[in-house]
Amino acid sequence: MSIARRDVLKMLTAAPFVGLSGVPRLHQPGRTAAGFGPAPANVWRVFEEPFLSEIAFPLGGIGTGTVSLGGRGNLRDWEIANRPDKGRDLDNTFFALWCREQGAEARTMILESELAPPYRGAFGIPRGRLPGMPRFREGRFLGSYPFARLELSDPRVPLEVSLECFNPFIPGNDKDSGIPVAIFYWHLKNRSNSVVDATVMASLQNMAGVDTLGQNLNRFVDAGALRGLHMTTRKVPADHADFGSLALATVHTDITYTSRWDRGEWFDAQSLFWDDFSKDGRLETVAESDPSPENRTDVGSLGGLLRLAPGEVKTIPFVLSWYFPNRQNYWGEEIFGYDADRSGPIIGNYYQQHFDDAWDVARYTTENLARLERETRLFHDALFSTTAPPEILDAVSSQSSIIRTETCFRTKDGTFYAFEGTGDDHGCCPLNCTHVWNYEQTLAFLFPALERTMREVDFGHNTEDDGFMVFRSRIPLGTPKWDFPHAAADGQMGTVVKLYREWQLSGDFEFLTRLWPKAKAALEFAWRDSDPDRDGVMEGVQHNTYDIEFHGPNPMMGAIYLTALQCASEMARAVGDDSAGETYARLAEQGRGALDRETWNGEYYVQAFDRAQEEKYQVGAGCLSDQLLGQWMAHVAGLGHVLPEEHVKSAIHAVYRHNFKETLEDHANPQRIYALGDEGGLLLCSWPRGMRPLLPFVYSDEVWTGIEYQVAAHLIYEGYVDEGVRIVRAVRNRYDGQRRNPWNEVECGNHYARALASWSLLLALSGFHYSAPEKRMGFAPKSEEGRFVSFWSAEPGFGLYEQERTATTCEVTLKLLYGSGLELEAIDLPVVSAAVEVEVSLDGVKRAANALVENGKTRVQFDEAARLAAGSELQIHLRTAS
Amino acid sequence: MSIARRDVLKMLTAAPFVGLSGVPRLHQPGRTAAGFGPAPANVWRVFEEPFLSEIAFPLGGIGTGTVSLGGRGNLRDWEIANRPDKGRDLDNTFFALWCREQGAEARTMILESELAPPYRGAFGIPRGRLPGMPRFREGRFLGSYPFARLELSDPRVPLEVSLECFNPFIPGNDKDSGIPVAIFYWHLKNRSNSVVDATVMASLQNMAGVDTLGQNLNRFVDAGALRGLHMTTRKVPADHADFGSLALATVHTDITYTSRWDRGEWFDAQSLFWDDFSKDGRLETVAESDPSPENRTDVGSLGGLLRLAPGEVKTIPFVLSWYFPNRQNYWGEEIFGYDADRSGPIIGNYYQQHFDDAWDVARYTTENLARLERETRLFHDALFSTTAPPEILDAVSSQSSIIRTETCFRTKDGTFYAFEGTGDDHGCCPLNCTHVWNYEQTLAFLFPALERTMREVDFGHNTEDDGFMVFRSRIPLGTPKWDFPHAAADGQMGTVVKLYREWQLSGDFEFLTRLWPKAKAALEFAWRDSDPDRDGVMEGVQHNTYDIEFHGPNPMMGAIYLTALQCASEMARAVGDDSAGETYARLAEQGRGALDRETWNGEYYVQAFDRAQEEKYQVGAGCLSDQLLGQWMAHVAGLGHVLPEEHVKSAIHAVYRHNFKETLEDHANPQRIYALGDEGGLLLCSWPRGMRPLLPFVYSDEVWTGIEYQVAAHLIYEGYVDEGVRIVRAVRNRYDGQRRNPWNEVECGNHYARALASWSLLLALSGFHYSAPEKRMGFAPKSEEGRFVSFWSAEPGFGLYEQERTATTCEVTLKLLYGSGLELEAIDLPVVSAAVEVEVSLDGVKRAANALVENGKTRVQFDEAARLAAGSELQIHLRTAS
């Protein structure tokens, strides 16, 4: 029994991806979702006990904070008041069901699956959310960001119940992707042979005022299409950081409610609520709006009633909205720690430009719900129609949530700021850290306008005239800058590359010319600092994302520098600074050779520093996973190989071969622990040829998802698709709902920004590039014959690329699904053969074009620019010339 | 797969007792314990993944605090510095193994089984104890308080490893049961075919000074038979609450050690330690004793080396001791909450009378280890040779640990004090609460001298001249008493019963006569308070253990009052107050009839209070689990039935029938949660005939282990053995290592004292009674023909009762295993037949005796008192008179 039990558990542990082998391969078709038809294959990641406890699916918009849906259907981690707040549960806040099948006894249940062990607590398990009440025996959680789904069933209940919830997420539309709201659809299906009466009851504690309790006011509002509870505070002044409001509302018309529960002692409130609700599915209405007593807040409940014929399905929608306008800089000027400063400056929230209070948010959401949901599904369905392995869609979609967690925020003026990640109750570390955000691609491709505000801060505020860039921001802008002595070599050069990316994705020439002078200074700062001999290879003190300094020539800093030089060369030429452009290009060419000579060991690149054994925290002869970070950035930017292609291919495969472990059971890691035991992961470094320094760089034995994604995407770019997918699978198996939360990849903080490198997996699979200045888009799918589909996005909007290949033809459809319009003069496509014929039509109308095959791609040039509006389809048919 | 997985999990959940059905039944014979022969049946409770995470087995003595052994072998919850401190882990504190099979590579492992999910933490999982280092794939935890055992194996390791650890526990010897020490035996067995060299390394962080870090000093000491590290603080003054010391020592002679790890930055210390140890199983010795830098403490390591031939088994022992003499009243005068008062009075620890520092503790322990271990095993083996169902031995043994947790302590003068239980970081609630400690029996029977100090406080300090007893103590004694307006009706009467029990178990007549006047006043206080009409039935305001007041006649308070009257009657007569004795006896007789008339509903007893529906927090017509608490106390005290036997039997079975639920899935409990979902439990109350008040007493829907044990024991007393065992099984299945910690039953706090009612399960099974004043012992086993064995204990010592019955004979052996000596004039035994012949011998020498059968027992009267010394055996042979 001993061995068998262990084996069973191991099998269970790996369940969500069990059955997947071979790469790429799709999710198994979803099992039938409780009575509502089959869940689409490849879309939903499905979780059951014991994979529920760690799930916390964030519901909220960009810069609004989130409340999360737990794996059992519990609302958890109320991080809506402008602070990370893991573990903040709201007492007496849950959905509950009352139902009565005709002729049978009524039943009252909390709309969650049963609590799973352990049952900890010195005074019994925490009882804020009525853990002693009956719950559903069977529960499944399905995630497909930004949509979550919960399925509940129980032999004691004549209904099948499911919940769908989301927050609008529409790439390119940052306003509607930043609404402080969560939308819940409760679907009930009568699986009995009799009529069933039912009530779905939502209860919510008034947390306006956050921890300042007393004079909380719950008011019932019946306003046209919408009715429900508006929760405010009279105690906290309107300009205070804790000031806010919440709303709980529905468009359902047959309702029951109470503006507040009983205020008695002991457990009176819970007892009386439950007994009252259980009696007939209705509450004794308390309609008056008297503020709560000192040091107490109130709970309000709103229920929707309905009657279901046998087999009938009906839905009750709820909107939960919040409004905490006064985001505060509570961390002051601290960088590596913080003492909450309750008198810190108020920096506000962008959403206060659009809304007056939580009820206003609920009203706007409801009035626009059809459109918000349609556009969100348009994005979601397009993303998930990508023919990518399920692990990749899971990684890309789940981690895109990071930009909507408390890792990121928008000040009142709309500027987007971000920590690296968050501690459980504070951002960590402040702010816009250039080297961590080097890895991020999701925001850049989905919300390029927000990404550009980061460059405005980088170059507009944090770069000194001599080019020294402070790599962490203090806000409000104008606050004395951080006085760390080093520039971040990787962050500083990476930011030049990112400026190039933003310019390419947007074509915003004004933006480029405005920031260029500081970007130029930032690049040339290297000549003063780390490349004083100006040979195109960094060799000085190179502070970097490992929080230490490398010395001597090394591929990581070297390749970023080469990529930055190449980007800067193109930008310089674009703004008319041709001489600088030429200098940079020459230096890049020179550095490319020098770096390769100095750091290539015949298999991969190493640090060329002769004191690597004596000096603490170096790499030396090690095989660094990040060695080609700069090359990956170059691929994303569409620059091709900045180092010799055959060496790049050899090195990135060496990283996989030496650093990726299918199990870490034999790995001894005295550092921070993000993967362990029987889990797989990519080590940051290894020393396959020995010569490991006594104390190598401080994170060398760790496993970071951001670097795993970077390397996986790079492997795919270089054609090692299987290897890349294996790494991604290892990551996502670590985040399986039992081990860790699939919607929170942790590094130095929750929702860590480096994991936004995940977006590059899509880019690598599709080979998507877009140059707005040149009005050219390109795709180079890692796909042979057959059908390939990929989501794509850039400043003009988002859409789908669909390709059907045979040995001699390639049928391509480019769709713009949403956006302001896309103008293309050319499109780069795969090579079908050395000479091709091309046919082009836009929305069914033939267009003249020619096709030229060179540099490994087929460039289709339109005689006249093609202008796609949202909904347009551009069709291109390539065939071997006859 | 969905259903199957759930079923598998459910099966797993119940595993430790799976296979048990039918009652009573023994533990399945233990599986072979990793190579060291079979574990004795009925002794060890065995745990494997996923039943390990909640295990925290307390190691420590009475009044010393504890450190706990976790299910994986991790040391956790360092509650050694005079405070509850759940969750206090010591960084870098663990056992580790280095081993090298000849001709193979060396291997270094932490001596724990692998960490199980979840892997939480905003910055990776907490890394204090090197979670990134290799651990053993297979681990089993075996518990048999006061002994714990850990078995580790791994295909990568050529050794089988097991750990045995304990703290001396010798009933009647409070000094040696109160040593601040934990003893560890690491057993290694070479399962390879080659010689294996091995080192077992213990590492310990210096926590002298608790949270005050800096100037911590680790000194290596080599003192005769013992060598190791003595850890002190120079920063904290010797009279400060945080002052203390620790020692880590061994009698093993071939050792390696370092007095402190590297003090570098980042992860230098962990890296260098691990690499150094991994190289050759030895450490670079750092012998100097320089105090740690400000705000840092040091880690020291001590390893034992050995070489094992193929198949060979060897053991390395370690002693871990601590010494924090300055216990402080940190809770001040608070009762229901606390603000840690760092200037509160120092109340000291009893152990400081015997020891000078932690090294002195280690020295004493080592010098006496053979005896301490032998006597502890004598107790343990005797207890576990009791022929009781495994659930009962598990409950009785595991919960006896409560008296050695931070729930209890001894001030410097030796007085025993106790909270009800503990919060995670404070006792809760202070102190010597009479109504909670009503349920406790373990201390009274194992350490009667300590129990008597509680009566000294109850009557010597907390009882006013008019008999009003403050039911919670403030210390130091002399501190103004708590000014709560009510007496606790149950606590006050129960304390009179407990005084009787202490007198009976000890025969301490001086103690009785000294406390009697206040006990008499306390009893008669009822005539002023709750029984003003002096009819033997309480009907006034009756504050009680449910933290509310009952009104009107009710069985719970009524029966305790009757029992108290009966005890008081006997005590009054003993001290020569015959008139009072007669009054009390008459009142008891009168009350018995009146209570039965007023509260009997034909099936069970109810509250006779006509405003039970209107007044909050009453019972009314409910079936209260505690209704016969007083009757249970009377059984324990040997008083027989204080209410009509047939009604008692009916009522206690009604409690079982109505209140015990095999599953709580349909139970709605808005109150505190100690059992839920698919767990079984005994509800505090139910209303099987309706008339549940809108708001009954505040804990009515809860499940408390203390009451479950009280009711289970009472069921057994009344002959309902199966029912009693079923309740106990439900309790212990809730404490299965995955749901909750088997060595920490929680009510309003951890290690809650009410669970000490568990001892009465043994008393009920064996029917053990002892009257020291009358020099008489009695047994009435719930056992038919065949063999029955039971542990017994009282002031004179502890021993075994063994009985072998046939239809016509009963062979009895009474052994005194340990103690000061036992003098008996008579012994009460089961009835074999109406007329019996008896043969008696003491240590093989025949003694004259006669046997009289009456009142359902056989009283064997010795012509001359039998004097048993430790080791003596008294043999009695009863047979049907021919």
Contact B746 A122 (CB under 8 A): yes
Whether pLDDT at A290 is above 70: yes
User: Helix, strand, coil proportions of chain B in percent (round to 5)?
Assistant: 25, 25, 45
The span from the CA of A793 to the CA of A770, in Å, is 9
Cβ–Cβ gap A676/B122 under 8 Å = no
What integer pLDDT is reported at residue B5 of this predicted model? 36
Q: What residue has token string 């077992």? A: B200
Cα distances from B189 to residues A3, B196, B217, in angstroms, run 21, 10, 36
Nearest chain A CA: its distance from B81 CA (Å): 19
| Rounded Cα distance, B576 and B289, in Å | 66
* Contacts B8 to A, Cβ<8 Å: 8, 12
Of A132, A667, A677, nearest to B114 by CB-CB distance is A677
- The percent of residues in chain A predicted with pLDDT above 90, rounded, is 93
Q: Which residues of A touch B127 (CB under 8 A)?
A: 671-673
The answer to whether residues A538 and A558 touch, using CB atoms and an 8 Å cutoff, is: yes
A673/B125 touch (CB, cutoff 8 Å), yes or no: yes
Cis before residue B476, ω within 30 degrees of 0?
yes
Residue B542 bridge partners (DSSP): B550
Which of B108, B673, B748 is facing A127, going by the closest CB pair? B673
Tokens of A652: 């990135």
Give the bridge partners for B56, in sequence order: B70
Which residues of B are less than 8 Å from A673 in CB distance?
119, 124-125, 127, 131-132
At residue B41 the predicted structure's pLDDT band, cuts being 50, 70 and 90, is low
Structural contact between residues B36 and B51, judged by C-beta atoms closer than 8 angstroms: no
DSSP string of B455-520, one letter each residue: HHHHHHTSB-TTS-B-SS--SSBTBPPP--SS-BHHHHHHHHHHHHHHHHHH--HHHHHHHHHHHH
Residue A340 confidence (pLDDT): 81
| Nearest beta carbon to residue A118 from set B119, B738, B747 | B738
Which of B286, B303, B340 minimizes the C-alpha distance to B85?
B340
Q: Which of A114, A127, A749 sits opposite B123 (nearest CB)?
A: A749
- For residues B455-464, average pLDDT: 98
Of B8, B124, B670, the CB nearest to A672: B124
In chain A, which residue's Cα lies nearest the Cα of B737? A118
Mutation target among B49, B54, B98, B266 for the A interface, most CBs of A within 10 A: B266
Predicted confidence (pLDDT) at residue B39 exceeds the cutoff of 50? no
Residues B2, A278: C-beta atoms closer than 8 Å: no
Secondary structure (DSSP) of A749-788: BBS-GGGGGGHHHHHHHHT-EEETTTTEEE---S--SEEE
**Residues of A with Cβ-Cβ distance to B124 under 8 angstroms:** 672-674, 702, 746-747
| Strand, coil or helix: B569 | helix
Which of these, A787, A785, A780, A673, lies nearest to A734 by C-alpha position? A673
**Interchain CB distance below 8 Å, B670 and A270:** yes
Q: Which residue in chain A is spatially nearest to B744 when comparing CA positions?
A: A122
Q: Which residue of B has its CA nearest to A669?
A: B132
Is the Cβ pair B124, A423 closer than 8 Å? no
Q: For residues B879 and B25, give the distance between their C-alpha atoms in angstroms, rounded to a whole number.
A: 29
Q: Nearest Cβ partner of B665 from A8, A134, A264? A: A134
Rounded to a whole number, what is the distance in Å from the CA of B503 to chain A's nearest CA?
Answer: 35
Q: What is the pLDDT of residue A41?
A: 53
**Residue of chain A whose Cα is closest to the Cα of B735:** A119
| B274, closest residue in chain A (CA to CA) | A670
Identify the pLDDT of residue B34: 28
Reported confidence tier of residue A13, pLDDT bands at 50, 70, 90: very low
pLDDT, tens digit, for every residue of A650-684? Answer: 999 999 999 999 999 999 999 999 999 999 999 99
What percentage of chain B has pLDDT greater than the value 90?
Answer: 93
**How many angstroms separate the CA of residue B97 from the nearest CA in chain A?**
14
How far is A7 from chain B, CA to nearest CA, in Å?
11
Residue B25 pLDDT exceeds 80: no
Distance of residue A434 Cα from the nearest chain B Cα, in angstroms = 20
Cα–Cα distance measured from residue A252 to residue A366, given in angstroms and rounded to the nearest whole number: 12
Report the residue of chain A nearest B666, measured CA to CA.
A134
- How far is it, in rounded angstroms, from Cα B209 to Cα B846? 61
Nearest to A780 by CA among A838, A836, A858, A876: A858
Contact yes or no for A2 and B695 at CB 8 A: no
Q: Residue A9 and residue B134: Cβ atoms within 8 Å?
A: no
Stated pTM of the model: 0.95
CA distance A439 to A437: 5
Average pLDDT over residues B611-622: 96
Q: Which of B315-331 are b and which e, b meaning 16 or more Cβ less than 10 Å from the residue's Cβ?
A: ebbbbbbbbbbbbbbbb
| Chain A hits for B54, Cβ within 8 Å | 117-118, 120
**Is the per-residue pLDDT at A15 higher than 80?**
no
For residues A137 and A96, is the Cβ–Cβ distance under 8 A?
no
Residue B6 confidence (pLDDT) above 50:
no
Contacts of A697 in chain B (CB under 8 A): none
Distances (CA, A) of B17 to B51, B389, B447, B663, B864: 12, 11, 31, 16, 48
Mean pLDDT, rounded, of chain A: 94
Instruction: Report the pLDDT value the prediction gives residue B287, as an integer from 0 to 100.
Output: 78
Cβ atoms of A111 and A126 closer than 8 Å:
no
Shortest Cα–Cα distance, A195 to chain B (Å)? 23
**Cβ neighbourhood burial of A314 (10 Å; 0-12, 13-18, 19+):** middle
Q: What is the pLDDT of residue B262?
A: 96
Probe site for chain B from A152, A267, A406 (most B CB atoms < 10 A): A267
Nearest CA in chain B to A107: B666
Amino acid in the structure at residue B595: L
Q: What pLDDT does B12 receive?
A: 34
Q: Which helix (H) or strand (E) holds B840?
A: strand B836-842
pLDDT at position B574 is 98
- Mind listing the pLDDT tens digit for each residue in B165-221? 999 999 999 999 999 999 999 999 999 999 999 999 999 999 999 999 999 999 999
State mean pLDDT over A702-723: 98
Least confident of A3-12, A198-207, A816-825, B176-185: A3-12
Are the beta carbons of B96 and B111 closer than 8 angstroms? Answer: yes
H, E, C per residue of A352-395: HHCCCCHHHHHHHHHHCHHHHHHHHHHHHHHHHCCCCCHHHHHH
d(CA A708, CA A399): 13
- Indicate yes or no: CB of A694 within 8 angstroms of CB of B272: yes
Position B733 pLDDT exceeds 50: yes
Res. A783 pLDDT band, cuts 50 70 90: confident
The answer to whether the CB atoms of B127 and A673 lie below 8 A apart is yes
What end-to-end distance do the CA atoms of chain B give, in Å?
Answer: 69
* Cross-chain residue pair B670–A49, CB shorter than 8 Å: no
Select the residue of B127, B674, B702 nearest A672 (Cβ to Cβ). B127
Which residue is closest to A92 within chain B, CA to CA?
B670
When CB atoms are compared, the residue of B122, B423, B739 closest to A86 is B122
Label residue A286 by pLDDT band (50, 70, 90).
confident
Q: Pick from A28, A24, A25, A21: which is nearest to A45 by CA?
A: A28
Cross-chain Cβ contact A9/B50 below 8 Å: yes
Q: What are phi and psi of A142, to 5 degrees?
A: -125, 130
Neighboring chain A residues of B117 at a CB cutoff of 8 Å: 13, 54, 738-740
pLDDT, tens digit (0-9, with 9 covering 90-100), for B682-700:
999 999 999 999 999 999 9
Percentage of chain B lying above the pLDDT 70 cut:
95
Amino acid symbol at A257: Y
Q: Is there a contact between B695 and A131 if contact means CB atoms under 8 Å apart?
A: no
Q: Which is it for strands B427-428 and B421-422: parallel, antiparallel or unpaired?
A: antiparallel
Amino acid, res. B743: W
**Strand runs labelled E in B685-808:** 685-686, 769-771, 776-778, 786-794, 797-805
- pLDDT at residue B286, as a whole number: 83
Closest alpha carbon within chain A to B53:
A118
Mean pLDDT of chain B: 94
**Shortest Cα distance from B18 to chain A (angstroms)?**
11
How many CB pairs lie under 8 A apart between chains A and B?
211
Q: Give ipTM to 2 decimals.
A: 0.94
Q: Which residues of B touch A670 (CB under 8 A)?
A: 130, 132-133, 267, 270-271, 274
Residues whose CB falls within 8 Å of the CB of residue B47, separated by 6 or more in sequence, listed in order: B16, B55, B71, B140, B141, B142, B143, B736, B737, B742
- Other C-beta atoms closer than 10 Å to the C-beta of B820 total 11
Q: Say which amino acid occupies B582.
A: E
Residue A824: closest CA among A872, A762, A764, A780:
A872
pLDDT the model gives residue A38: 38
